[in-house]
Structure 1
Amino acid sequence: MPFSSDEDRNFPVSKFESMLKTNDVYFFDADDFENIIHHYLDTGKVALAKKAIQIGLGQHTSSTNLKLLQIEVLIFENRFDVAEKMLDELAALETSNEEIYIQRANIYSKRDKHEMAIRFLREALAYTSDNADIYSLIGMEYLFLDKYAEARDCFIKCLDEDPEDYSALYNVIYCFDFLEDHDGAISYLNSYLEYNPYSEVGWHQAGKQYFQKKMLKEALAAFDFAIISDDTFVGAYLEKGKVLEKMGRYGEAIENYELTLRLDDPTSFAYLRMGKCYEKLGNDNEAKKYYYKTVHEDPLLDKGWIAITDFYLKQLNYQKAKYYINKALHIDSENITYWKRSAEINRELHLYEEADISYQKTIELGNYELDTWTSWCDILIKIGEYENAVHVLLQALEFYPKEALLEYRISGLYFLLTDPLKGQQHLKRALAENFDQHAVIKELFPVVFRSKTVKSIITDFKKASI
């Protein structure tokens, strides 16, 4: 079978696979084997990579690069002892091969011995012609150690070697963000942009930092420069839209979001933001249209369903709000926010049993906010489930042990359950925690509030605190 490199850009791979199918034996030079092996490793075909290594070393028994690729596979398979033995053999022959140090570092990294990995990577710097790659690996090891300042400095060295290494730039900003050093990030980006004034990614990252610091004019200017550098940069238009929203310039924000729809596939984020802008402008029909597009584009985006639900809640259209939150729950029945909205809507519709179920589900899924507990309790009070309400509040006290709003409710419930001793105990605790909130008793338990015992306790406490 004739082969021509003009017929197939992946000619060595095609030739190798043909050899495997026909059981013929073809000769490849060592570089071809390296390319074949890299191809299989990059595409996740480890078994074929191992086959190519085996045949390659059969034809080129002394090839260091092929042995290093074999070591790489061994490390991938966690066969560290075999890999280390091979590295020792190679190191005895080639003391200045940087890849030997890199692979030793790889082994230590996979064993979670990141300091040792860094030591070997720093040794590799003495022999490499590509400092940027080594500094990037060192930076990643520092990230494993949660040493963000050291990692940042390594990624900055990568950028010193290659200013267009945007992966390194993102890592630098990630470190600044983790360190909550937005001023440092801005300072670095300004110096970076001084030498790389047409870096759209640099301007984009600067804009995000300014936005974090609520420096909206500066953020807007940075995103404009990102767009000047690359007028197809969708991310810059999206971020510019967010800034314009914050500035109350909703019409201009919409224009930027619309541009992203023309430049690339539609995104649920753009649709959602456009809906929010139209709602702010009082254009309810357009707002609804884009909220519907949001959930159609991405039915799993909870912010889209919440936006539609809240839209109808603001209009006091509880039936519509209930319809959409139920659709959302049908898609994701484990979403805490959905259940909490469901509880609020059912409460407004006086569907207290359904509200009870929704609040219970909200708590079961891990929402322990104070207002969730108190709202659930108030629903149970409305349906006369006093003992259940006490049980709920005692659970809540485990999370908020000194919360007066809980103590007042427990007190009122115990009085209703004809357990005045416990009622008095919890009332006194509540008064001690926050006397000013005692109106809760009057609001939720008017009969209890009018009792002589309760009025006397409140009056005595007030006199004692003067």
Structure 2
Amino acid sequence: MIDNTENYFDDDALESLERFETMLKHNKPCYFDVHEFENLVDYYLEDHKLAKATKVSELAIQQHPSSISLQLKYAQVLIGRGEEIKALTILKKLKQIESTNKNIYILIGNIYNILKKPQNAKIQFDIALNLCYDDKEDLLFSIAASFEQLGLYEMALPYFKAGHKLDAEDPEVLFEIAYCYEKLQQDEESILAYKAYLDLDPFSDNAWYNLGILYNRNDQSLKSVEAYDFCIAINDKHSKAYFNKANALALCDKFEEAIKSYIEYLEFEDDHASTYSYIGECFEKLEEYDQAMIYYENAIKEDEKFDDPWFGMGLILLYQDKIDECLVYLNEAKNLDDTNPDYWFALGSAYSRIPDAQKAVQCFREAINLDPYDPTYAITLAEFYHQNSKEEAAIDVLLESLGCCPEDVQLQNNLAAYYMLAADANAAEHYLRKAMANPENKIEDIFIQFPELENNNKFKQIIKANQ
């Protein structure tokens, strides 16, 4: 006999199901009324038995050819079988017979969504809503969910919000509103909606988790940590909460606490390589380089094709001025991912210390080409040229970078300094004036980077004249 039928049927309906199963087994025709057929189709659809649902619906139409409700059930079965066009043909005929039946429009709307015609679906759904007088909240939720499943959050949101107006105490609707806002990158609205949801259901670990993601995305790392703590307190098996909490703690420079949370995360997940690498990075930030190297090595043992730990080990060796060793690791990281500008930049820094000017310039240049909107790379290459008494080359690099970052104050300051060192006071004054127009510019810092200008009276006069 079929399992779990009591979850779907009362005694009378169960008797209908047994009669139908017996009929199939012995191939003997049997009569069922319309209501019985409807229950049978619903049961088999719920149980994902499309073949039997098809047999029921076809027999139902044979026995009751004029029943609108059974033809609707047959259309549902066809949709389940992926025969949307055939179902649509039936539904359009039914619409001409019974134009006020909202279920016809709902099914047509679902078909249009399946066919990736959401605007057509919306027209049908809105007609169904106008014909709906009872349980409107349920229909609104169903329509919104159909758009949400397609990733059409902007279309789903108004229906969820309309449902919320009808029942402000429905937590499920509030959660979906928050989720849609989150997907639409409307973070403030999403945060407010999740908070409202948590007022109704404070023990939802998923809501606290999503709230933590939003806080972290909006540079509110401490609030993010708090949200993840609530999530973990409710569900101490929510593995991703440990991982995200660790990331948030690292962003707050709370590296020791971050390490603890990463280690807790290791108990749940098999993705040890990246977690070991993150732990290594935390130890690196704490300048506990021996511990950092251990975890980076563990990460490489887990996955030797993972570039992050190779880069981390290379950086530590660079800090320790072990250039020959660091080049091995940095080159391996670069070989694994040659599109990461930081890898090329670190290689440029390493080659500049040997010194191997040609390779240093080549690597710095590659970093700039990969990310021309980070002025750090150009500023460092210009400094390398300056150290080698190539002021004109330094100026050219910074002018090129200024084309991508025209408002960057440090680029303007450094250009002023290099022009002054090249004895072009007019150009120096031009860039100093632009830099000093920015109230956040700390012009005195220029003498830290360029101590040789400390005694340059002309340069100081230009600064004083523009203060």
State the number of aligned residues.
Answer: 409
Secondary structure of residue in 2 paired with 1:258: helix
Q: Once the 2 structures are TM-superposed, how far is the Cα of residue 127 of structure 1 from its aligned partner? A: 8.2
Cα contact 1:176–1:182 (8 A) shared by 2: no
- CA shift digits 1:42-92 (9 cap, x unpaired): xxxxxxx9xx99xx989979754554565688898xx8xx98655422422
For the structure 1 residues 243 and 337, does the alpha-carbon distance in structure 2 shift closer, same or farther, using more than 3 Å as the test?
Answer: closer
In 1, Cα distance between equivalents of 2:160 and 2:46: 35
Letter in 2 for 1:271: Y
In 1, Cα distance between equivalents of 2:361 and 2:164: 55
Cα contact 1:139–1:152 (8 A) shared by 2: no
Q: Once the 2 structures are TM-superposed, how far is the Cα of residue 236 of structure 1 from its aligned partner? A: 2.6
For the structure 1 residues 254 and 32, does the alpha-carbon distance in structure 2 shift closer, same or farther, using more than 3 Å as the test?
Answer: same
* Match in the other structure for 1:120: 124
Q: Once the 2 structures are TM-superposed, how far is the Cα of residue 325 of structure 1 from its aligned partner? A: 1.7
Secondary structure of residue in 2 paired with 1:263: coil
Unaligned runs of 5+ in 2: 4-26, 29-36, 66-70, 437-442
TM-score, length of structure 2 as denominator length: 0.64
Q: 2:176 aligns with which of 138, 144, 168?
A: 168
Cα contact 1:308–1:321 (8 A) shared by 2: yes
Cα contact 1:291–1:308 (8 A) shared by 2: yes
Cα contact 1:404–1:429 (8 A) shared by 2: no
Q: State whether structure 2 residue 405 is matched by structure 1 residue 397.
A: no
- CA shift digits 1:255-312 (9 cap, x unpaired): 4433332233244443233324444566433322222333454566655444333333
* Match in the other structure for 2:187: 179
In 1, Cα distance between equivalents of 2:395 and 2:340: 26
Q: Once the 2 structures are TM-superposed, how far is the Cα of residue 169 of structure 1 from its aligned partner? A: 7.4
Letter in 1 for 2:316: F
Cα contact 2:175–2:194 (8 A) shared by 1: no
* Match in the other structure for 2:278: 273
* Match in the other structure for 1:190: 198
Cα contact 2:212–2:228 (8 A) shared by 1: yes
In 2, Cα distance between equivalents of 1:219 and 1:432: 41
For the structure 1 residues 248 and 384, does the alpha-carbon distance in structure 2 shift closer, same or farther, using more than 3 Å as the test?
Answer: closer
In 1, Cα distance between equivalents of 2:240 and 2:147: 29
Q: 1:88 aligns with which of 76, 92, 95?
A: 92
In 2, Cα distance between equivalents of 1:412 and 1:334: 36
Question: What root-mean-square deviation, in Å, do the aligned CA atoms of Structure 1 and Structure 2 show?
Answer: 5.4
* Match in the other structure for 1:101: 106
TM-score, length of structure 1 as denominator length: 0.64
In 2, Cα distance between equivalents of 1:90 and 1:38: 25
More moved, 363-372 vs 86-95: 86-95
Secondary structure of residue in 2 paired with 1:92: helix
Q: Once the 2 structures are TM-superposed, how far is the Cα of residue 163 of structure 1 from its aligned partner? A: 5.3
Secondary structure of residue in 1 paired with 2:101: coil
For the structure 1 residues 87 and 347, does the alpha-carbon distance in structure 2 shift closer, same or farther, using more than 3 Å as the test?
Answer: farther
* Match in the other structure for 1:257: 262
Q: How do 1:55-94 and structure 2 match up within 5 A?
A: 63-67=71-75, 87-93=91-97
* Match in the other structure for 1:341: 346
In 2, Cα distance between equivalents of 1:186 and 1:284: 41
More moved, 178-187 vs 328-337: 178-187
In 2, Cα distance between equivalents of 1:127 and 1:431: 71
* Match in the other structure for 2:433: 432
In 1, Cα distance between equivalents of 2:249 and 2:464: 55
For the structure 1 residues 159 and 202, does the alpha-carbon distance in structure 2 shift closer, same or farther, using more than 3 Å as the test?
Answer: farther
For the structure 1 residues 117 and 431, does the alpha-carbon distance in structure 2 shift closer, same or farther, using more than 3 Å as the test?
Answer: same
Q: 1:233 aligns with which of 221, 235, 238?
A: 238
Cα contact 1:347–1:355 (8 A) shared by 2: yes
In 2, Cα distance between equivalents of 1:464 and 1:105: 71
- CA shift digits 1:184-239 (9 cap, x unpaired): 14532431324xx3x322333344456657474x7656544433433322123324
* Match in the other structure for 1:284: 289
In 2, Cα distance between equivalents of 1:169 and 1:104: 21
* Match in the other structure for 2:361: 356
* Match in the other structure for 2:14: none
- CA shift digits 1:2-38 (9 cap, x unpaired): xx989xxxxxxxxxxxxxxxxxxx99x9959986997
Secondary structure of residue in 1 paired with 2:201: helix
Letter in 2 for 1:265: D
For the structure 1 residues 425 and 247, does the alpha-carbon distance in structure 2 shift closer, same or farther, using more than 3 Å as the test?
Answer: closer
Letter in 1 for 2:262: Y
- CA shift digits 1:118-150 (9 cap, x unpaired): 4433444538975433232355789554896x4
* Match in the other structure for 2:207: 202
Cα contact 1:200–1:226 (8 A) shared by 2: yes
Q: 1:134 aligns with which of 129, 138, 143?
A: 143
* Match in the other structure for 1:372: 377
For the structure 1 residues 57 and 457, does the alpha-carbon distance in structure 2 shift closer, same or farther, using more than 3 Å as the test?
Answer: farther
